[in-house]
Structure formats: C-alpha cells, structure tokens
C-alpha cells in the first residue's frame, strides 16, 4: 500500500515537473518572449536598453533556465518574478489561499447544485421536469465566465460563485445522464420488481454504482474551475493565482509561469489521482451491489 502510494507520488511529481519544462518551452518559443515594455520609454539611454535586454537574455536558454530552476527548487527557491519584482515563493504564498478558497467554494457549490438538481430530476421523473434546470445550465454555459462574474459583482455577490456557476452545468448534465442511464439497468428493474422503496432503489442501486464515475468528474472539476478562475479573478480583481497567471502570461514572466504550470499540474494530477483511487476502491463494492 505504502509502496503504491509512493509510486503515485513519484509519478505525480515527475509529471508535474515535466509539465513545467514543457510549459517553459511553450513560453520561450512563443512570440514576444524577451521583449520588455520598458524599451518603449523615450528616456532610456542605449546602455539602459542593453541592460534590460541582457536581463531577459538570461532566460533564453531553456535547458539552462530549467536546470537552475530545479536546483533552486531543491532549496525552496522558486525564482524571481521580473514583472512584479518579487520572489515567486512570496507571491504564491500570498495568493494561493485565496484561490484555493475560491476553488473549494466553486467546486463544492457547483457540484452540490448540479448533483442536487440531477437527483431531483431523477426522483420526480415527470416529463419536462428537467427543462428548467437544463435551461439554467444552458444559460450558465452560454454566458462568458467574465459576464457571469460581472453580473454577480453587480449584485454584490463574490466572484467565487461564478466558478460554481461554471462548474454546475457540467456536473448537472453528466450526473443526470449517468443517473438516468443507471436507472435503466437490469438490476434496478429487478430491485423495483422486488418491491424496494423508491428512495432505497435511488440511493443503494442507482447512486451507489454511479459514484465512481461521479468521482471522475471531481477531477475534471478542478481543471474546469481553475480555467474559469483566470477570467473571473481578472474581472473581479481578486489577487489570486488566476490573476497572477494572466499577468504572467501577458508579461512573459517565465519564472512565474513555470511555477504556476507546475502548481496547476500538481493540483490536477492530485485531484485526478484521488478520483482514480476512489474509482479503484469502489469497483469491488459496485460488483457486490450488482450481484
């Protein structure tokens, strides 16, 4: 068990660091790398311009940069952000709690709303009962995250609920389809024929087998939520990781971008790893229930 866990941790770490390298390469090869807005300042002398270019030239060899980065990482030094003029570790320490909080609210809120509505739809099973939630879900999908965030701000609500509204349609649609498909399984028909109550059929024979696949959705929700957090944090001016990522991208701040890529990769891998673990542990139970 411990060995398995250690292997998983190792896999996650190696993949995340590989992600960092690939991310750094993408940034390096992208246009606008190494240029600085300061070069447009009329006041600068030629020496100052050369000094600015030299600063950026340090990062141009991606292999060297990444080697230095890994060496620094071993000592807890995450590098220095040129665009914000502060150590990356400090920036992440300040902003991570805010974003994690928003993500937690967003994912739990969106998942709860989606699951609750999916369950209600499945419980009542009347024709057209799912029309309203479906249309609301459609509305949430159709509106840009930025517009949802603005609407919420205007109403005085926190931007984090915009993340919930972005996650909810995916959860609702998927959970509804899953639960309805499970309802049509032979074992559910058998259970109903045996005279089990609707509630017991729903929870023990419909929801229980669906849990592994719902767990898979939990992993996706992390990347969805983080993706949504970028425009939402930018719009609502929340000083979280999403806003930092956007700023880093616009300024081509390589140290910052690499760290954020590694962080996002870690979060995604851990969330999906846990979801997979849940999937693996539930399967024996599922087979027992089906039998």
Return the residues of window 33-52 that contact other proteins according to CB under 8 A.
33, 35-49, 51-52
Number of residues that bind other proteins (CB under 8 A): 99
Candidate residues 79, 110, 219, 255; the one interacting with other proteins per rule CB under 8 A: 219
What Cα–Cα distance (Å) separates residue 112 from each residue in 150, 151, 163, 170, 243?
23, 21, 13, 12, 26
Stretch touching other proteins by CB under 8 A, among 71-79, 101-109, 193-201, 217-225? 217-225
CB of 200 to other proteins, least distance (A): 18
* 91 near other proteins, judged by CB under 8 A: yes
Return the number of the residue (104 or 141) whose C-beta is nearest other proteins.
141
Candidate residues 235, 242, 255, 282; the one interacting with other proteins per rule CB under 8 A: 235
Return the number of the residue (75 or 184) whose C-beta is nearest other proteins.
184
Q: Considering only CA atoms, give the Rg of the chain.
A: 24
Tokens of 32: 């606008």
Which string of x and - marks every residue 152-191 that binds other proteins (by CB under 8 A)? Answer: -xx--------------xx--xx-xx--xx-xx-------
- 166's enclosing H/E stretch is helix 160-183
Candidate residues 57, 67, 100, 139; the one interacting with other proteins per rule CB under 8 A: 139
Stretch touching other proteins by CB under 8 A, among 60-68, 69-77, 130-138, 199-207? 130-138
Distance CA 184, CA 33 (A): 55
CB of 191 to other proteins, least distance (A): 13
Candidate residues 74, 85, 288, 291; the one interacting with other proteins per rule CB under 8 A: 85
Return the number of the residue (75 or 106) whose C-beta is nearest other proteins.
106
Return the number of the residue (36 or 75) whose C-beta is nearest other proteins.
36
- 87's enclosing H/E stretch is strand 86-87
**Structure-token match 């983080």, residue found:** 226
Beta carbons within 8 Å of 276's beta carbon, 6+ residues apart: 216, 219
**Structure-token match 């995250």, residue found:** 145
Cβ count within 10 A of residue 290: 12
Return the number of the residue (104 or 278) whose C-beta is nearest other proteins.
278
Alpha helices in 30-87 (DSSP H): 46-57, 62-74
What Cα–Cα distance (Å) separates residue 128 from each residue in 8, 32, 135, 178, 228?
45, 52, 11, 18, 30
Stretch touching other proteins by CB under 8 A, among 58-66, 67-75, 101-109, 231-239? 231-239
**Structure-token match 């089906």, residue found:** 290
Q: Are 224 and 44 in contact (CB under 8 A)?
A: no
């Amino acid at each position: 068990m411990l060995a398995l866990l250690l292997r998983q941790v190792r896999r996650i770490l190696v993949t995340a660091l590989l992600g960092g390298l690939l991310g750094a390469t993408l940034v390096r090869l992208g246009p606008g790398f190494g240029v600085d807005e300061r070069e447009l300042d009329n006041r600068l002398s030629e020496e100052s311009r050369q000094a600015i270019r030299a600063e950026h030239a340090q990062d141009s060899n991606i292999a060297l940069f990444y080697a230095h980065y890994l060496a620094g990482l071993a000592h807890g030094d995450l590098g220095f952000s040129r665009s914000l003029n502060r150590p990356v570790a400090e920036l992440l320490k300040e902003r991570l709690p805010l974003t994690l909080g928003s993500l937690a609210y967003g994912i739990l809120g969106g998942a709860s709303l989606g699951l609750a509505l999916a369950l209600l739809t499945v419980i009542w099973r009347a024709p057209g009962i799912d029309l309203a939630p479906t249309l609301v879900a459609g509305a949430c999908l159709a509106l840009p995250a930025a517009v949802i965030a603005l609407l919420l701000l205007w109403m005085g609500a926190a931007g984090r609920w915009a993340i919930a509204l972005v996650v909810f349609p995916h959860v609702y649609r998927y959970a509804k389809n899953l639960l309805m498909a499970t309802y049509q399984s032979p074992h559910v028909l058998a259970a109903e024929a045996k005279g089990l109550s609707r509630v017991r059929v729903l929870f023990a024979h419909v929801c229980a087998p669906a849990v592994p696949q719902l767990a898979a959705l939990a992993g996706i929700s992390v990347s969805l939520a983080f993706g949504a957090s970028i425009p939402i944090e930018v719009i609502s001016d929340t000083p979280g990781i999403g806003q930092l990522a956007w700023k880093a991208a616009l300024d081509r701040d390589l140290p910052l971008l690499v760290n954020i890529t590694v962080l996002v990769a870690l979060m995604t891998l851990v969330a999906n790893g846990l979801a997979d673990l849940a999937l693996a542990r539930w399967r024996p139970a599922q087979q027992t229930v089906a039998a």
